[in-house]
Every structure is written in C-alpha cells, then in structure tokens.
Amino acid sequence: MFSFFEIIIELAIQLCSWRVLLCILLAISIIVGLYFKYPEHDGLWSVSYPAAIVITALGFCWHYRADR
C-alpha cells in the first residue's frame, strides 16, 4: 500500500514537469528549514508560506513558458 507521501509524489510526476516538481521541493525545503531553524518564532510562518506559494507559481510559469 502506498504511503501518503508516495501518492503525492506519483501525482506530481504524472501531472507536473520536472520544473514544477523542483520548485515544489524547493518550497517544501524552505518551509521545513525555517521551521527547524526558528521553531519558536511564529512570525516566520507568515513569510515562509507566501514564499512557497510564489516559488510554486513560478514553477508553473516556468513550465508553461518552456512548453510554448
């Protein structure tokens, strides 16, 4: 049986290109890195989530422009 993480990775591989997957992994690493570096500061969540959304959106733009 697949774990939840494996299901997400399989969907990302099927639906997205390597560019989008790279940006999603970068966004996840930013959130996790800031969480482990500054767990006591809740203010960093207000910075890390929008940054992750922007990075993921840039990945979709990169994918769209590469396929044009």
**Which residue range is the domain that position 52 belongs to?**
4-67
- Count of domains observed in the chain: 1
CA distance 32 to 55: 15
- pLDDT tens track for 33-53: 888 888 888 768 888 889 989
Q: Residue 44 has what pLDDT?
A: 80
pLDDT at 16 over 80: no
The reported pTM is: 0.72
Q: Which of 9, 22, 8, 12 is nearest to 59 (CA)?
A: 22
Q: Is residue 60's pLDDT more than 60?
A: yes
